[in-house]
Amino acid sequence: MSKAIVITGASSGIGKAAATFFHQKGWNVVATMRNPEKETDLKEDERMKLFKLDVMDKSSIAEAVQKSIAAFGKIDVWVNNAGYGAFGPLEAGTDEQIRRQYDVNFFGVIDCIKAILPHFKANRAGVIINVTSIGGLLTLPLFGVYNSSKFALEGLSEGLWFDLQQFGIKVKVIEPGGIKTDFAGRSLDQFDQSEFPEYENYSKIIAEKFTDPDYAKNFGSPEMVAGVIYTAATDNKTTLRYLAGKDAKQFWFLRRWFGYKFQMGMAKRYMGI
Q: Which residues are catalytic?
A: 146
CB 28 within 8 A of CB 4: yes
CA 113 to CA 58: how far, in whole Å?
11
d(CA 111, CA 41): 27
Rounded to 10 degrees, the C-alpha dihedral 233/234/236/240 comes to -30
CA 45 to chain centre: 26
> Which helix (H) or strand (E) covers residue 189, if one does?
strand 188-190
For residues 130 and 233, what is the distance between their CA atoms, to the nearest angstrom? 11
Q: Which residues of 123-156 are buried (b: 16+ CB within 10 A; e: fewer)?
A: eeebbbbbbbbbbbbbbbbbbbbbbbbbbbbbeb
- Measured CA to CA, the distance from residue 128 to residue 233 in angstroms comes to 9
Round to whole Å and give the CA distance between 227 and 137: 21
CA 114, CA 89: separation in Å to the nearest integer? Answer: 32
* E strand segments, 16-122: 28-33, 48-52, 77-80, 85-87
> Rounded to whole angstroms, how far apart are CA atoms 258 and 235?
30
